[in-house]
Amino acid sequence: MFDKDQTWASRAACAGTEPDALFVRGAAQRQARQLCFTCPVRMECLADALSSNASFGVWGGLTERERRALVRRYPEVSDWPAWLRREDDELITELRAQRAPRIIARMRAAHSA
Ligand code: SF4
């Protein structure tokens, strides 16, 4: 489900930055996303990116690789905004932390358990 309300974008930490700053490739995404962890609308941004299958650049503090892994791990999720609001999932708690989430390591650990 794609949230049509895009008013959150005006509060984005990246609203005043160089447009290409978050559209870097590979390892540079890890550095670029530091801005996201100060962003008051990070979860809205992430939900939007997951809902619209944004494939390039940093969104919501996640790299392309991390978002791909998340979508692959949860193919049944159709409403990402609702999923990200859940309180009962450790991975979502990790995603909400104000630092780079260790989601790939967590997903690997959960898969091998
Ligand atoms: S989370 Fe990052 S990419 Fe998304 S709006 Fe905030 S600063 Fe921009």
User: Does any domain span residue 97?
Assistant: yes
Is the pLDDT reported for residue 61 higher than 90? yes
For 2-57, what is each residue's pLDDT tens digit?
Answer: 566 789 999 999 999 997 999 999 889 989 999 999 999 999 999 999 999 988 99
Domain membership of residue 99 (yes or no) is: yes
Number of domains in the chain: 1
Q: Is the Cβ–Cβ distance between 39 and 13 less than 8 Å?
A: yes
Show the ligand 1 pocket: residues with CB < 6 angstroms.
12-14, 22, 35-36, 39, 41-42, 45, 58-61
φ, ψ of residue 59 in degrees (nearest 5): -140, 135
Average pLDDT, the chain: 90
* Nearest by Cα to 107 from 87, 95, 34: 95
Task: Please check whether residue 46 lies inside any domain of the structure.
Answer: yes
| Rounded CA separation 113/108 (Å) | 9
Cα 89 to ligand 1 centre (Å)? 23
Per residue in 63-74, pLDDT tens? 999 999 999 999
Q: Per the domain annotation, does 21 fall within a domain?
A: yes
- The answer to the question of residue 27 being in a domain is yes
CA dist list (Å): 37 to 15, 26, 101, 103, 111? 14, 19, 10, 15, 27
Assign 109 a pLDDT band (cuts: 50, 70, 90): confident
Residue 1 in any domain: the answer is no
CB under 8 Å to 86, separation ≥6 — which residues? 92
Which residue ranges are tagged as binding site for [4Fe-4S] cluster? 14, 36, 39, 45
Q: Which domain holds residue 57?
A: 7-112
pLDDT of residue 2: 54
